[in-house]
Homo-oligomer: A and B are copies of this chain.
Amino acid sequence: MDDTVLLKWVQQKQVTVPHLLLKHYTKLNMNETELVLLIQIQRLIDNGDSFPTPQTLSEQMTLSIEECAEKIGQLVRKRLLSIKNKRDDETNMVYEYCSLDPLWLQLIDYVETEQSEYEGTKTEEVEG
Q: Which residues of A contact B (CB under 8 A)?
A: 1-20, 22-24, 26, 31-33, 35-37, 39-40, 43, 46-48, 60-62, 83-87, 94, 96, 101, 104-105, 108, 111-112, 115, 125-128
Least CB distance, A23 to chain B, in whole angstroms: 5
A14 contact set on B, CB distance < 8 A: 14, 16-19
8 Å CB contact of A111 from B9, B40, B111: B9
Expressed in whole angstroms, the Cα–Cα distance for A82 and B13 within the complex equals 19
Least CB distance, A82 to chain B, in whole angstroms: 8
Expressed in whole angstroms, the Cα–Cα distance for A10 and B6 within the complex equals 9
**Cβ B15 vs Cβ A16 within 8 A:** yes
Give the number of times this chain occurs in the complex, counting copies: 4
Instruction: Contacts A15-B16, A18-B12, A26-B61 given; indicate if A7 touches B105 (C-beta within 8 A).
Output: yes
Instruction: Contacts A16-B15, A48-B48, A101-B11 given; indicate if A32 touches B61 (C-beta within 8 A).
Output: yes
| Chain A interface mostly | helix
Expressed in whole angstroms, the Cα–Cα distance for A14 and B120 within the complex equals 28
